[in-house]
Chain A
């Protein structure tokens, strides 16, 4: 149990579908992050939320839409994705936005776009 839970663990979706990834943490952290992990590429930071405010958007295509309704929940809404978007999507949380503190990762959602 890592303290960060992601659902679903696996998702297969067509290019015209709309789906959402969910991340939940009960560690009392106030910063949450979405990362994309593709084969043979470094982990890519997508979005950062601090105190429910988006503080970073790393040039991510608009077909990915994050939502942070409170400090414990983070969503990633997906629509009209492309096959190259297939990857492992990881959520993480930490205390504040200072990375000296430990970042806890969820187990990830393995996304396949067909």
Chain B
């Protein structure tokens, strides 16, 4: 069974602080996606990383895919209250007729003004 563990599970920080969220697995994924979900809404895709070691930046967010494509991290610089939400990583698993997205356990981030 493929599992994606995220840490930390909960994070409450002050505006302006930096933070890193980790997504770890013992399985190799073809690609990895990060989503943010706000209360009462569905997840919204932030980024997809495909190549081992790949780094992508989205304004104050930096995403990295591990060299072995088993793990990923999300770093937020100078967090803002608007960054508050549930962050989900998801690994893409290809395999015949059962291509699917395995979601991580989630990290709930609260940024206090």
A residues 28-67 touching B (CB-CB < 8 Å): 35, 41-43, 45, 48, 55-56
Mask of A95-111 contacts with B, CB within 8 angstroms, 1/0 = 00111101111111000
The count of residues in chain B whose C-beta lies closer than 8 Å to any C-beta of chain A is 28
Q: Are B42 and A105 in contact (CB under 8 A)?
A: yes
B residues 1-53 touching A (CB-CB < 8 Å): 4, 30-31, 33, 35, 40-45, 48, 50
A92 at the interface (CB under 8 A from B): yes
Q: Are B97 and A108 in contact (CB under 8 A)?
A: no
A-side interface residues toward B, CB under 8 Å? 2, 4, 35, 41-43, 45, 48, 55-56, 90, 92, 97-100, 102-108
Q: List 25 A-B contacts (CB under 8 A).
A: A2-B44, A4-B42, A35-B103, A42-B4, A42-B103, A43-B90, A43-B103, A45-B102, A48-B100, A56-B97, A90-B43, A92-B42, A97-B97, A98-B92, A98-B94, A99-B30, A99-B90, A99-B99, A100-B30, A100-B48, A100-B92, A102-B48, A105-B44, A107-B42, A108-B42
